[in-house]
């Protein structure tokens, strides 16, 4: 069964850091582009970042560029999102998402998400 | 960045009726548009990719059309489980962006 599952969310103070992880199973992780997409409470979807299957290409939303970093460990079938200098507006459910191709061709498997709350 | 506009914001229909949802891009994105469904309390699900291709396991009552800047998602006959929020998303340029969503309710 193809699935992804996030962990690492929690409550963090503004300006602090947090690292999210995403464990993948049931598919060839090293062949898939992987995304992070977030959803603030009661709001719509916001794409955050993508990493290509070979890890060489990474793209970010303007709202997180320079603060967040996406990475992958194919040996562990795990995706990461390092979030630094967190702000209140980063509060959201963060979904790990598998792409149907090697980069950004369509987000076909979604995790249930992990909640990040940035508050003092 | 490419801005996606979805209309209407809310669509009130009955089971069995036809739903037509619109997504307009601020610039030409060719056929690089996807549609997602999000039911309450659930993660989104890919319905359509590249404007008209149904994703694996998606029923035939869902269809997509359009190219350039104007796109449509059609649900031919609404089932009770189709009442949800629908988002379009473009991959024509970085950064990837989503539309604000259309809520289909009873």
Q: Name A65's Cβ contacts closer than 8 Å, sequence gap at least 6.
A: none
Residue to substitute from B37, B38, B91, interface A, most A β-carbons within 10 A: B91
Tell me the mean pLDDT in the region B85-95.
97
Q: Does residue A79 surpass a pLDDT of 90?
A: yes
- B10, B101 in Cβ contact below 8 A? no
Between chains, do B87 and A46 touch, taking CB under 8 Å as contact? no
Segment B40-73, tens digit of pLDDT: 999 999 999 999 999 999 999 999 999 999 999 9
Tell me the mean pLDDT in the region A13-40.
97
Q: How far is CA A39 from CA A54, A64, A95, B4, in A?
A: 27, 14, 8, 17
Tell me the mean pLDDT in the region A51-80.
97
Between chains, do B44 and A100 touch, taking CB under 8 Å as contact? no
Count of A-B CB contacts under 8 Å: 61
The residue in chain B having the minimum alpha-carbon distance to the alpha carbon of residue A113 is B43
What number of other Cβ atoms are within 10 A of residue B54's Cβ? 17
pLDDT for the residue B64: 98
Residue to substitute from B48, B55, B96, interface A, most A β-carbons within 10 A: B96
Share of chain A above pLDDT 70, in %: 100
Q: Which residue has the tokens 């998602």?
A: B73
Segment A37-56, tens digit of pLDDT: 999 999 999 999 999 999 99
**pLDDT confidence band for A5 (50 / 70 / 90):** very high
Share of chain B above pLDDT 90, in %: 99
pLDDT for the residue B106: 85
Q: How far apart are CA A34 and CA A28, in angstroms?
A: 12
């Amino acid at each position: 069964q193809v699935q992804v599952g996030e962990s690492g969310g929690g409550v963090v103070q503004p300006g602090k850091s947090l690292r999210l992880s995403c464990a993948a199973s049931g598919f060839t992780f090293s062949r898939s582009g992987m995304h992070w997409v977030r959803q603030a409470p009661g709001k719509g979807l916001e794409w955050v970042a993508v990493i290509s299957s070979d890890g060489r290409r990474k793209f970010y939303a303007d709202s997180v560029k320079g603060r967040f970093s996406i990475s992958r460990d194919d040996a562990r079938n795990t995706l990461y999102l390092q979030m630094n200098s967190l702000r209140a507006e980063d509060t959201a459910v963060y979904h790990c998402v598998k792409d149907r191709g090697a980069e950004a061709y369509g987000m076909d498997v979604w995790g249930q998400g992990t909640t990040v709350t940035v508050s003092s | 960045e490419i801005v996606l506009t979805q209309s209407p914001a809310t669509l009130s229909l009955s089971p069995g009726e036809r739903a037509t949802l619109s997504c307009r891009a601020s610039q030409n994105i060719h056929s690089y548009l996807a549609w997602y469904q999000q039911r309450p309390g659930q993660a989104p699900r890919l319905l359509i990719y590249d404007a008209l291709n149904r994703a694996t396991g998606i029923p035939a009552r869902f269809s997509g059309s359009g190219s350039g800047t104007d796109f449509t998602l059609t649900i031919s006959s609404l089932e009770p489980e189709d009442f949800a929020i629908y988002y379009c998303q473009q991959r024509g340029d970085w950064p990837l962006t989503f539309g604000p969503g259309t809520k289909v309710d009873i």
